Amino acid sequence: MLAAMPDSAPSPLSAGGPALRDGGDACPGTLRLHRADDGALARVRVPGGVLSADRAEALLAAAGRFGDGELHLTSRGNVQLRGLGAECGGGLAELLAGAGLLPSAAHERARNIVASPLAGLDGSPALGERLAELDALVCASAAAASLSGRFLFALDDGRGDVDALGADVTLIADGDAFLLRIGPGDEVFRIPAAEGPRAVLRAAEAFLRAARDAGAWRVKDLPDPVRSELVRAVGAAAGPAEHRPRPRTAKAPEPGTHGPGDAVETTPGSGAAPETTPGSTDAPETTPGPGYAPETTPGSTDALPGAHRHANPHGPAHTAAPDNPPQAPPASAGALAVDVPLGRLTPGQWRLLTATARRYGGELRLTPWRGIVVPGPFTGAEAADALGALAAAGLITSPDSPWTGVGACIGRPGCAKSLADVRAEAGAALGPAGRLPVYWSGCERRCGHPHGEWIDVVATPDGHRISYVRGERRDPPATVRDDPAALAAAVAAARARAL
C-alpha cells in the first residue's frame, strides 16, 4: 500500500543551516505519498527526463485514473501527480511498474538523474547509453537504495547546463573521456568514457559511507573535512585531477527549434539554471515554470483553434496565453523545445506532446527547467507545423514570451503553508521578459526555488519581500505592501537588473 508522508521540514535556505538526517527521508515517491491540501501527491522519477511515447501515455493514464488528470513537471525532470485519493492503494504502483516506470521498488526515490536535454540532438555528444547504464547500476546496488530522495546525479554533455545544478555527483562529457565532479567543488577527475557510470556509482556509495556519522543527506551537507576526504578518496580511485570551476548558472534550452551546430559549450562561471532546493523536503509543493494555458479537446491531439486570452492562471480552464511571437521556419531541426506554463500540463497538452513524439523521434525529454524537448528529426515544414500546434495548445515556443523565466511554488489553494495564491500573483505581475528569472514563493520555504542568479519574491503576512540572489549571496530585500501595481513594477525593475 502507498504510505502517506509527514509534513516537510523547513528548507535550509530559510533555516540557515545544512539539512541533516534528524528524521526519516520525507521526499515523496510513487510508493510513499505526500499530503497536500488538494489531495495526496506522488513523484515519479524519470531518469534523465527521458520518456518513450508509451510511458508518457501510461503517466497520463495514471493521472486520470488516480489523480486530478494533470501532470506537473519538477526541477529535476520528474513528474508529479496531484489530487490522488487515499483509495489509489497499490494500483498506481502496479500501473507504473507495468509501464517500466518503477523498475525497482527499493530504489524508486534514489533514481534522481538529470541529463542535458539536448544531448545528441544539436551536435553535442549523445548520453543515452550512459544514462541507461547508470540507472541500471543504481537499481542493482543494494547500497544505493539508502540514498536520500534529495541526492542528485547529473550527466552533462559538456555545455555546462546540468553541471550548474549543483548535483552530488556529476559526469561531464569531455572529448573521448568524462570528467567526474563530487559535490559543488571546482576539482574534477578525468576518467575513461567506458568507466563513467560505474565511477559515478562508486562515488555515491563512498558518500553513503562518509555520511554515516555526519548525518548528511547530500554532499554539500557534509562537514568540510569529511567532504574533502570524500573528494580525495574518490579522486584517488578515479584519475588525474583538473581545476574546472562549476558553472555558476546555465542556460536552459530556448523554446523553438534546435539542430546540428547549435550546441554551445558553456564557459565555467556563466549562464543560468534553476535546481530544486538542496536538502529540502519542500519540493513536493513545487510547480514552477512560465505560465498557464488552454487545454485541447479531451481525447484529441488537435491544437485549440482561435485566439488566446489571458485568464486566471489557477482556474480550471487554464486559458492564459504564452504570447508566442511568430518565428521564421527553420530549414530542418533535430529537436523542438517548449516551455510548460508553470510546469503544469493539462491532459490535452500532454496528449498533443505524446502524439508529436510518436510521429517523429518516439520520445519526450523533460528538462530540469520545466520544459520539454521533442527529438526529431523534423523537416523545416514539419517543425513549423508542430511548433504552431504546440503554441496553439498554450505551450511556450518563443523565448520572447513574457512567461519565460517566471516560476512559482504551488501556493494556495494546494498548499496549506502558503500565504498567497502566488501563481495568480505571478500572472498579474507579468511584464516584458526580464534578464533574470523570477520565482514566487508562498512562504519562507521557497519550495523548488532556482539557484544561481535570480529574483526572489516571497509572500509575507503584510505583502511581499523582493531580493536579488546570486549563488549563496542575497542583497537586502525590498518590501512591497499589498499593492499589485507597485509589486509588478518592483518585480520588473528587479528582473531588469544590469550585470
What would the 3-class secondary structure string for 385-409 be? HHHHHHHHCCCECCCCCCCCCEEEE
Residue 141 grid coordinates:
546496488
CA 332, distance to chain mean position in Å, is 28
**Residue 154 in contact with residue 294, Cβ under 8 Å?**
no
Ramachandran sector of residue 299 (left: φ over 0; alpha: ψ -120 to 50; beta: rest): left
In angstroms, the CA 260 to CA 256 distance is 14
β 438-441/453-460 pair status? parallel
Maximal CA-CA distance, the chain: 62
Helix axes 196-214, 224-238, angle to 10 degrees: 150
Contact 463, 479 (CB under 8 A): yes
Amino acid making up residue 336 = L
308: exposed, middle or buried (C-beta count within 10 Å: 0-12, 13-18, 19+)?
middle
Return d(Cα 327, Cα 385) in angstroms, integer. Answer: 11
pLDDT per residue as tens, the chain (499 positions)? 344 433 333 333 333 344 455 556 778 888 888 888 788 889 999 999 999 999 999 999 999 999 999 999 998 999 999 999 877 868 999 999 999 999 999 999 999 999 999 999 999 999 999 999 999 999 999 999 999 999 999 999 999 999 999 899 999 999 999 999 999 899 999 999 999 999 999 999 999 999 998 889 999 999 999 999 999 999 998 878 999 999 877 688 999 999 987 776 544 433 333 333 333 333 333 433 333 233 333 333 333 222 232 333 333 334 344 667 656 656 788 999 999 988 999 999 999 999 999 999 999 999 999 999 999 999 999 999 999 999 999 999 998 898 888 989 989 998 889 999 999 999 999 988 888 889 999 999 998 787 778 899 999 999 999 999 987 789 999 999 989 999 999 999 999 975 5
User: Is 103 exposed, middle or buried, given 0-12, 13-18 or 19+ CB atoms closer than 10 A?
Assistant: middle
Interatomic CA distance for residues 155 and 373, integer angstroms = 16
User: pTM here?
Assistant: 0.83
User: For 259-264, which contacts have Cβ atoms below 8 Å and span 24 or more sequence positions?
Assistant: 259/121, 259/122, 259/330, 259/332, 259/333, 259/334, 259/335, 260/122, 260/123, 260/334, 261/122, 261/123, 262/118, 262/122, 262/123, 263/118, 263/122, 263/123, 263/124, 263/157, 263/159, 264/159
Q: Which helix (H) or strand (E) holds 435?
A: none
Q: 352 — phi, psi (to 5°)?
A: -65, -45
Q: What is the DSSP letter of 490?
A: H
Distances (CA, A) of 175 to 85, 154, 155, 240: 49, 18, 14, 15
- CB–CB of 307/354 below 8 Å? no
β-sheet bridge partners, residue 216: 20
Alpha helices in 215-342 (DSSP H): 224-238
Please give the pLDDT value at position 98. 97
